[in-house]
Amino acid sequence: MTSVLDLAPVVPVVVIDDAADAVPLARALVSGGLPAIEVTLRTPAALDAIRAIAAEVPEAVVGAGTVISPDGVAQAVAAGSRFLVSPGWSDRLLGAMTDSGVPFLPGVSTTSEVVQLLERGITGMKFFPAEAAGGTAYLKSLGGPLPQARFCPTGGISLASAPSYLALPNVACVGGTWMLPADAVAARDWDRVEVLARGAAALRG
């Protein structure tokens, strides 16, 4: 099973209020070089958005974020999610994500959480909220005692700070929203989204 961490160095974290925006938004991100798209389950439109992207944008690898329950896991997978991301984890949620058969990233923000996941054989994790939880300094410190853990930091990361995260050996990718400014999405300015996505994709080198 391919790790979510290996899909792309930058994963857009998308909040969709209108499912009609899902396909043009996804096409803009893919055209800009960001094929892995995390649609957060924070809005009533999220599952319909995932369905639409899965059906109409085959070049995209669409996943579900803010997965916080076994029901959420089941609904996301049924909608066509090809990966799952949670802000944190419990044994019950972890079991559901494991049983789903799709790649997943459980969220962590403490050393103890990382160790508990390593005990379960899980090495790929979301570090959230990245900036508030200690940022690059914290992740660099974790790399010494826990080098086998690999992270996708998300939360407060910008185009300016992303390279510092991606330079760390235990960071495989970052999640962010900077390529989806609220005014551009509200105006359905997909050309601008594509340009910003291209700038994020350029960080992959």
The counts of H helices and E strands in the chain are 9, 9
Q: Considering 119, 126, 131, 194, which one is annotated as catalytic? A: 126
Contacts of 205 (CB under 8 A, 6+ apart): none
- Give the pLDDT confidence of 66-116 residue by residue, as tens digits: 999 999 999 999 999 999 999 999 999 999 999 999 999 999 999 999 999
131 among known catalytic residues:
no
Task: Give the separation between CA 51 and CA 49, rounded to whole angstroms.
Answer: 5
**Does residue 163 surpass a pLDDT of 90?**
yes
140 among known catalytic residues:
no
The model carries a pTM of 0.96
**Does residue 1 surpass a pLDDT of 80?**
no
Q: What percent of the chain has pLDDT over 70?
A: 98
